[in-house]
Amino acid sequence: MRHLILALAILLLAACGGGDRTAGPAGRSVLDRVLASGTVRVGVKADSPPFGVERSGARMGFDIDIAQAVARRLGVEAAFVTVTSADRIPRLVAGEVDMVVASMTQTRSRERQVDFSVPYFEDGPAVLVGTASGIDGYVALGGRKVGVAKGSTTAQSLATIAPEAVLVELPAIADLMPALRSGTVDAIASDYLILLALRRTEAEPGRWAIPGGRIVAEPYGIALPQDQSAWRDAVNAALMAMWEDGEWARISDAWFGQQSAMPADVRFVLPTIPR
């Protein structure tokens, strides 16, 4: 019933709201089109455990569950489209997806191309190395080759904390561990929880370490087309309702709780505004 009420409220917002009427096919706003079609096209990753993976045709991950919950509260079905760190913004700008839920750090530079929902999670970049590498922290990365996924914000963080590291840009997150195993790079860098999951899936996880923990904490946001305020408001309303009624906590606990496959200390608080 709560989901139905939210969907009806969104329909009323679409009928009354202004400012978004010229966007999208046939002059309709993104919100109008999503509600009319009954489907929201969601860009998600397929190579980034524990946020988004695809195995035997099945999607799973924290971001997948968040996206499905948002869609359900909007009263529509989620149609997933695989994106990478490098192409998620271009595909959103091109109108190939309606939103991107892909462990995407909200930054001021990215906001020149897309809009973001309120933050729905928080993580931060870190480095993964071999335990025999002699790399015991960020200061030891000087002159070392560090693999990063193209299109990620990790390179920016490393440029600040380890300016003498030699950054090697790789096509996608799926290419990080193979490059590290082969010795193509001396370390890889990505968000801490992604590295934790990559290490856990290795045949010999004890061979790998994450020295120093997170470099900095960064917020994740759902990326949305620019200048679509009614659409952004609808997504934000769904996220806030999820936080208030406990669904966000249930999803988080399933992926990061003490009984999950990858327990982690999650202290995130989703920002809400009064009703």
In three-state secondary structure terms, 173 is helix
226: Cα separation from own chain's centroid: 18
In this predicted model, which residue has the larger pLDDT, 156 or 219? 219
Which pLDDT band holds residue 22 (cuts at 50, 70, 90)? very low
d(C-alpha 115, C-alpha 170), whole Å: 26
The mean per-residue pLDDT over the stretch 257-266 comes to 94
The mean per-residue pLDDT over the stretch 2-8 comes to 47
pLDDT at 14: 44
pLDDT at 212: 87
Q: How many angstroms separate the Cα of 181 from the Cα of each of 48, 79, 91, 221, 240?
A: 18, 34, 31, 31, 41
pLDDT at 21: 38
Q: 238-271 as b/e, with b when 16 or more CB fall inside 10 Å?
A: bbbbbbeeebbeebbeebbbeeeeeebebebebe
> Which residue's structure tokens are 């149609």?
79
pLDDT at 137: 87
Query: Is the pLDDT confidence value at 19 over 60?
Result: no
d(C-alpha 220, C-alpha 133), whole Å: 31
The mean per-residue pLDDT over the stretch 183-198 comes to 96
pLDDT at 156: 86
In three-state secondary structure terms, 96 is coil
pLDDT at 87: 96
Show the DSSP H helices in the chain as ranges: 2-16, 30-37, 62-74, 88-93, 154-161, 176-182, 192-200, 229-245, 247-256
Query: Is the pLDDT confidence value at 44 over 50?
Result: yes
Kindly report, residue by residue over 165-182, the tens digit of the pLDDT. Answer: 999 999 999 999 999 999
The mean per-residue pLDDT over the stretch 207-234 comes to 95
d(C-alpha 247, C-alpha 244), whole Å: 8
Domains and their CATH numbers in the chain: 2-122+218-256 (3.40.190.10), 125-209 (3.40.190.10)
- DSSP secondary structure of 254-269: HHHSTTSSS-------
d(C-alpha 76, C-alpha 36), whole Å: 9
pLDDT at 6: 52
Tokens (6 digits) for 172: 């996608």
Q: Which residues are registered as beta bridge partners of 219? A: 122
Kindly report, residue by residue over 70-125, the tens digit of the pLDDT. Answer: 999 999 999 999 999 999 999 999 999 999 999 999 999 999 999 999 999 999 99
pLDDT at 27: 59
DSSP annotation of 140 reads G
